[in-house]
Structure 1
Amino acid sequence: MWVTIEQLRYLKVIAQEGSINAAGAKLGRAKSALYYGIKKLEEQLGYKVLNADKYRVALTPKGIQLLLKIDNFLAEYDSFIDAARQVGSGVEAKLTLSATALYPLNALTKKISQLQKMFSNTEIVFHRELLSGVELLLKDNVDVAILENLKPTPELEVKQIDEVKMHLVISRKHDFIKQKKSSQNLENLLAFPQVIQSSTLPSDESYGVHKHSQQWTVTDIHSKREIILAGLGWGRLPEHDIIGDLEKGRLKDLHHIEKPVKIPIFLGRKKSKFTGAVLESLWEMF
């Protein structure tokens, strides 16, 4: 039994249009071709899918059940054909990228939006990570990554695209702030928990951690900020995430203990991996 895509499209359009004449006009095919295609389909399936009179056609109960399957199948088939054409054109069907949690998301989403307009059939898969971008690239888990604190890695092509200023901050309601200014030093700060963000990859190290401090460990930057705001600890946060908190006094900058640190941000990709049109376009946006 060799059911064709064309036969399935005939049945779908006939059901949509309500008549074989109208379906033939929409498909640009002769009425006789549609009659033959549906008759052949019924022979192959072993049951009727259409009840036809002189003016109108209607699906049989089994035809209705079949049409539900046809709709899903044709959608997947059309998606496959688009993907296959993309392979031939050098346009990736899917692009996977990761970005360090330190990089401002709005700076990236503008570029992704532009990329989607250029390549509407390409699926974008996004990971938000801390410190693990290099490992994700080397293991081929992502095609491109936005990284921080990059160590020399000969397998990667990289370029610096930005820098993020990290401030040591604490909540205005934290007990440490209630101490005399002369007592607000690193030694006394270490008596309170430091809030750190660790990578989801176990092999990565946490950045900026004081080894002798008590620690709260979180896996995302939002939780880190909320815990610090609640007065449960202290730590470094990116300037773009806390400007409002500093201006309104919700957070205190402990620059008298440790000055803000500028973290360079890089864009990286694996040298040995194929670079398609989508990745190349994203690369050139930075």
Structure 2
Amino acid sequence: MLLPKAREIIAKVDIFKSYAKGMATGLEAELSVVIDVFFPIHIIAEAAKDFRERFPTVPLRLFVEALGGTVEPILDRRANVGIVGSLPVMPSGIATEPLGSILFNIVASADHPLSLIEGPISKSQLEQHVQLILTDRTELSAGREFGVMSSQTWRLADLFAKHTFLINGLGWGGMPEHAVKTDIEEGRLVSLIIEDLPAGGLRLPVSIAYRSDDPPGPAGRWFIGRLTACSNDSSIT
């Protein structure tokens, strides 16, 4: 009984020594990352696997948010690093680095009236139908509208809910291409061709964000580099 207990104590001492060594060299005690809900989560998972091996003593905390929710945790220091795509205007005090872009499609269910229109759809035709919009849970985008093309809007705070509403024909709206690719291929959703918009979809720029007065430490800097490499390998740019 004593030998297993002794091994357990030694293991805990080794972990404590690793923590102490990391803190002495400026290594973060924890890395908190806020991720834009539009960003492909499989890329985060790839980077997280390598992060766990490289920094076994640094816990990783993830938030998944949209619009101002991707920046607010950085401003109030709940997160060290953010992946921001859906908020086009950065508040002061936030530094950014380009990460790439995400393909963004305007879609509707296969039986939605807009899906039955042949040729490009005009803005006046869009106006006749409800647009499903991802809403901001913070005040950072108060008074601003991003990508709103209809006066009839339903606002949802969750991308999964928006996806489900789209499939059920409750409106039309924009979605990241990777989130609806299978639905389009299997006929549940249709990619709409909108007048004056690129036929293949819109490109949404994505950036790494952090406080200007509190840049990432060694673990955060490494995680940013790994995310960039994984993003390039997955061809999101």
- Short-chain TM bin: 0.7 to 0.9
Q: Does 1:155 align with 2:93?
A: yes
Report if the CA contact (8 A) 1:129-1:199 is conserved: no
- AA partner of residue 181 (structure 2): I
Report if the CA contact (8 A) 1:131-1:206 is conserved: no
Q: Distance in 2 between matches of 1:256 and 1:284?
A: 36
Q: Distance in 2 between matches of 1:221 and 1:272?
A: 32
2:48 aligns with one of 112, 127, 131: 112
Q: Distance in 2 between matches of 1:79 and 1:218?
A: 44
Q: Distance in 1 between matches of 2:160 and 2:218?
A: 34
Q: Does 1:219 align with 2:160?
A: no
Where in structure 2 are there 5+ consecutive unaligned residues? 229-237
Select the structure with the greater relative contact order (CA < 8 A; seq sep ≥ 6): 2
Pair member with larger Rg:
1
Question: Aligned to 2:82, what secondary structure does the other structure show?
Answer: strand
**1:264 shift after superposition:** 0.6
Q: Could you tell me the percent identity over the aligned residues? A: 20
Match of 1:9 in 2: none
Report if the CA contact (8 A) 2:119-2:193 is conserved: no
Match of 2:211 in 1: 270
Change (3 A) 1:255 1:79: same
Question: Aligned to 1:272, what secondary structure does the other structure show?
Answer: coil
2:29 aligns with one of 93, 97, 109: 93
**1:154 shift after superposition:** 5.4
Match of 2:232 in 1: none
Runs of 4 or more consecutive aligned structure 1 residues displaced over 4 Å after TM superposition: 73-82
Report if the CA contact (8 A) 1:174-1:231 is conserved: yes
Match of 1:203 in 2: 140
Match of 1:282 in 2: 223
- AA partner of residue 44 (structure 2): L
Match of 2:235 in 1: none
Match of 1:136 in 2: 73
Report if the CA contact (8 A) 2:167-2:188 is conserved: yes
The alignment covers a number of residue pairs equal to: 220
More helix per residue: 1 or 2? 1
Match of 1:146 in 2: 83
Q: Distance in 2 between matches of 1:83 and 1:263?
A: 39
Change (3 A) 1:157 1:248: same
- Structure 1 vs Structure 2 CA RMSD: 3.1
**1:193 shift after superposition:** 1.5
Report if the CA contact (8 A) 2:123-2:149 is conserved: no
Q: Does 1:237 align with 2:178?
A: no
Where in structure 1 are there 5+ consecutive unaligned residues? 1-12, 18-22, 28-70
Q: Does 1:186 align with 2:123?
A: yes
Report if the CA contact (8 A) 2:120-2:194 is conserved: no
